[in-house]
Structures are given as C-alpha cells and as structure tokens.
Amino acid sequence: MTLLLLLGLPLAGAALSTRLSGAAARAAHGLTAGGTLAAAAAVVAAVMRDGSVTALDGLLRADALSAWMVGLVGLVATLAAIEAPRQVPRTEARRFYPLLHLFTFTMLLALTTDDVGLMWVAIEGTTLASVFLVNFERSRSSLEASYKYLLICSVGVALAFVGTILVYFADVQQFGDELYALRWTTLLRLAPGLPARVIELAFVFLLVGYGTKAGLAPMHTWLPDAHSEAPAPVSALMSGVLLSVGLYAVLRFKAVVDLAAGPGFASRLLVALGLASLGVAAAFLWAPRNFKRMLAYSSVEHVGVVCLGLGFGGPLGVAGAVLHIANHGLAKSVLFLLSGRIRAAYGSAEIPAVSGLLAAMPLTGRGFLVAMLALAGLPPFGLFVSEVMIFAAGFQDGHVAASVLGLALLVVAFAGLLRATHRMLYGPAPVGTRETAHWPSTLALAAALLLLIVTGLAWPPGLAAALEQIASLLAP
C-alpha cells in the first residue's frame, strides 16, 4: 500500500499539474512534493520494521537497498522542489512541473520494482521524462545537450536491454518458469545454477548499458552537457540521484553475476571502469572553465569512486559505496541548486565571470564553500568517511595498485576543485550583484549539509545496521 502511494502521488501530481496554472499549480507542486517525501519516509520506516514490503503480487518490492535509494530520492526531490519556484518563471509552470514529477515517478518505479524488465522500462522512462527538462531554457546549447542525451542514453539503455534478454534467456533455458523469471528475487535464488558464461556476457551488456546512464567513462560524454544545460533543480536531480539509479541497476545484477560466475569477474570490470571515470574527471577538473560543467565532471569522479567501492567488494566496500551514493547525492544537489542562484545573479556559468562570491552573496557563497569542502571529501563531512571505507576495503582485499592510483586521481581532482572554488569566492565583487535569497529559502539546503555532518561525525542509531543489511543483500 505504501509502495502504491509512493508511485501514485508523483504520477497523480504530474497529471494534475498539466491542467493547472498560477497559484494552483504551485500548490499542487508543493502538495505533490510533500506527499512524495512522506510516502518515501513511510516506505523507509516499513522496510526498517519488516525487512521488505511488497505490492501487486510482488511486482513491486522494496528491500533495504531500495529503501535507502527511495529515501535519498525523496530528500533530493524535496530540495529540488523547494528551489524550483525560484528558477521557473510562473508562465512556464505547465511546461516544467508535470515533467519534474513524472521524472521523479520513473526513478521511484525503477527503484521499487522487483521485475528487472520493468526496471529497464522505468530507467528508459527517466531519459524520456527528462529530455525536455534539459531543453527547458530553449537555448541552442541546451538543444544540442538534449539531443546528445536522448541519443546516447537510448543507445546505452538498449544495450542494457540486450543484457536483460540474455539473463531472461539463461533463466528460462535452465528453469522454464516464465512468469516470474525476470523477478530479481527469482534470479538471485536461481543464480548459482545459471550458465556462467551467458551471465558474464549479459553483465558486460548491462554494465555498459546502465553504466552509460550512470555516467561511467568512457560512456559519460553526454553527462557534462545535459547536467550543465538543465535548469538547476533538474541538474540536482540528475547528478544527485539519476546517476545512482543507473548504479543501482548495476548493483542488482552484480549480486546475480557474483553468484553465477564468482565474484572476480564483475569486480575487475568495475574497478577498471571506476579508474577510467576517475581519470577522465581528474583530467577535466584540473582546470575547469564553467562551474556547472565542473560539478558535472565531479559527478563522473564520484560515480567512479562508488564503482571502485563495489569492485573492491566485501561488506566494507559495498557499505562504503552505498553510503557514498547518499553523501554525494546530498552534497551535489545542494551545489547544483546554489549554482543556479549564482548563475542567475552573475548572468554566466563561466568561472572567470564569477568573483567575490562571499562578499556579494554571503548566504549563497558560504553555502557553496561548505558544500564544496564536503564534496572534496574533507572531514567532518560524510564523503570523507565513505571514501575512507571504500579505500580501506581496497587495501584490505589486495587491490593496492588500484587504490593508490584512485587516491592519486582524487587528489588531482581535489586540487582543481578547490582552486576553482577559491577563484569564485574571493576577489572583487562586481557592482550590482546581490543576494536575492533569504534565510528561510536556504534552510532546506542547510539541513542537507547538516545531514552530511551527521553521516560524517556521529552515525545515528540504525545507520550501521541498515548498511550492514544492504551489504548482506548484495555480498552474501
């Protein structure tokens, strides 16, 4: 029931807001966003109590991993929803809110279905729902970005479909149970008996396909364009959670391939792609020119870190990776939302065009500084802890060379990010650039940053248990 509510609310909100305008549209937007957050919280609570919840004869199912991701989507979608009215002109509401809530719906569906076929449909749906959001500002460059986004992600996700077909093929060949053959729970139960070579082949397609959606190098080429051209609330959702939805799909299949073919196969591929992503991101982040593109490339970097964690494996690596997904999602969405304000105030997203941010926009500037320090992986923020967990797992399990290389690339990216931030924060402030935001509108962002300190300094009761439960689901 809670699952149906979780999916029904954003869908109903999307349908409703196609017909509304003005104050009514805003009210519907607020109600939908609030309701979705409440439903997400209810799903998390139910899973914490019962271990998992199901609906529609098991077609929908949320376990600890789903609940973790649903909670994250709920939080980031709320941040984006609070900021949206600042960024979206009233007259354009009808073009924005329906797609925004539809986009949230497709992500939540991908996370809460047990059927990997339906998950594929939902992940393809995330692209379709967000194409015109990327092109919302109707500029030449955003048009080009949305074209690349639609084409590359559709091709990528079609490759993942080849993988899904091969998994279904292996399953039906071996067991003949067609009705539930694409359910993840069935796949996991039958995995040890599936033909290893076919499942390995399928995983390659799935990793490349969903990896495209997750922004893994070398399939990341669409990402900096789409993430930097989209309006800030959409960028926040895309960088903060959409990438993780792609990773989530990889995660589900990794559990299956580990059981069918042994853990080494998926691990090697993930470590290689993770290092490639870190390398591509570090090369760009050394000297970025545009701060929205900088944030987008930093997402490629962090997706790479998560992949390393999954590749290193073990309970520590998987728990670190899952925690890192949440930490990065919060930090990056705050940064993208603030970058929307900066771009509006300075009239440009180029780094040289922005100076004296701290003096001109004290609230936004300080928030940007704190979130940037968190993103760079400094203590006391959560990203520091999850990165330590991931690399500790790497050294523990004998991936010494990969860990050292990964850390070196992280340092390069770190230096580039801080240098660019420094350039934006200090220096002479241009005349006439003023803070337009007040405290109340920034409270939600501050709360997200506070949450990052919580995951960095003092884990609340239940967090360790939740991470342990997720790790045992994926690395039994």
Partner 1 sequence: MTAITNLLSFLGLVVTLLIVWRQSWPGRLRLFIAQSLLLALLALVIGVLVGKAGLLVVAGMVVLLKAWLIPRALARIAAGTPVRSVAPGHSAAVPVLVAGALVVVAYVVMLPVNAATTLPTAGGIPLAFAMALIGLFVCVSGRDALGHLLGFLMFENGIFGLALLATYGLPGLVEAGVFLDVLAIVLLMEGVLLRVRREHDSIEVDRLEELRG
**CA proximity to 149, closest of 282, 245, 238:** 238
Q: In three state form, how does the secondary structure of 293-362 look? A: HHHHHHHHHHHHHHHHHHHHCHHHHHHHHHHHHHHHHHHHHHHHHHHHHHHHHHCCCEHHHCCCHHHHCH
Q: Are 445 and 337 in contact (CB under 8 A)?
A: yes
Stretch that binds partner 1, among 17-25, 96-104, 156-164, 415-423 (CB under 8 A): 156-164
**CA proximity to 256, closest of 324, 157, 168, 125:** 168
* Nearer CB in complex with partner 1: 144/404: 144
- Say whether residue 176 binds partner 1 (CB under 8 A): no
**CA proximity to 414, closest of 468, 368, 456, 374:** 374
Stretch that binds partner 1, among 145-153, 255-263, 361-369, 406-414 (CB under 8 A): 145-153
Phi, psi of 234, deg, nearest 5: -75, -40
Stretch that binds partner 1, among 129-137, 316-324, 327-335, 400-408 (CB under 8 A): 129-137
**CA proximity to 112, closest of 128, 123, 100:** 123
CB of 14 to partner 1, least distance (A): 15
* Nearer CB in complex with partner 1: 23/179: 179
Q: Are 474 and 65 in contact (CB under 8 A)?
A: yes
* Nearer CB in complex with partner 1: 152/429: 152
Of 19, 21, 90, 173, the residue at the interface with partner 1 (CB under 8 A) is 173
Number of residues that bind partner 1 (CB under 8 A): 49
Distance CA 153, CA 124 (A): 8
Helices (H), 215-313: 223-229, 232-237, 243-261, 264-285, 291-312
Of 48, 132, 175, 366, the residue at the interface with partner 1 (CB under 8 A) is 132
- Say whether residue 146 binds partner 1 (CB under 8 A): yes
Of 114, 124, 258, 387, the residue at the interface with partner 1 (CB under 8 A) is 124
- Say whether residue 155 binds partner 1 (CB under 8 A): yes
What is the SS3 assignment for 115?
Answer: strand
Q: In residues, how long is the chain?
A: 476
- Say whether residue 137 binds partner 1 (CB under 8 A): no
CB of 476 to partner 1, least distance (A): 25
Stretch that binds partner 1, among 30-38, 137-145, 248-256, 302-310 (CB under 8 A): 137-145
- Say whether residue 165 binds partner 1 (CB under 8 A): yes
- Say whether residue 301 binds partner 1 (CB under 8 A): no
- Say whether residue 106 binds partner 1 (CB under 8 A): no
* Nearer CB in complex with partner 1: 72/294: 294
**Residues 188-217, mask of contacts with partner 1 (x by CB under 8 A):** -------x-xx-xx----------------
* Nearer CB in complex with partner 1: 1/179: 179
* Nearer CB in complex with partner 1: 76/280: 280
**CA proximity to 337, closest of 287, 381, 291:** 291
- Say whether residue 48 binds partner 1 (CB under 8 A): no
* Nearer CB in complex with partner 1: 164/442: 164
Please give the C-alpha separations between residue 345 and each of 298, 308, 449, in angstroms, as whole numbers.
23, 38, 22
CB-CB neighbours of 11 under 10 Å: 18
Distance CA 241, CA 247 (A): 10
**CA proximity to 52, closest of 183, 168, 191:** 183
- Say whether residue 291 binds partner 1 (CB under 8 A): no
CB of 137 to partner 1, least distance (A): 12
Of 11, 39, 170, 206, the residue at the interface with partner 1 (CB under 8 A) is 170
**Residues 215-244, mask of contacts with partner 1 (x by CB under 8 A):** ---------xx---x---------------
- Residue with tokens 């955003």, as numbered in its chain: 142
By the 10 Å C-beta count (0-12 exposed, 13-18 middle, 19+ buried), 351 is classed as buried
What is the SS3 assignment for 436?
Answer: coil
Q: Which two tokens stand for residue 345?
A: 């105030």
Window 247 to 286, contacts with partner 1 (CB under 8 A) = 284
- Contacting positions for partner 1 (CB under 8 A): 115, 117-118, 120-121, 124-125, 128, 131-132, 135, 138, 140-141, 143-148, 150-151, 154-155, 158, 161-162, 165-166, 168-170, 172-173, 178-179, 181-182, 195, 197-198, 200-201, 224-225, 229, 284, 289, 293
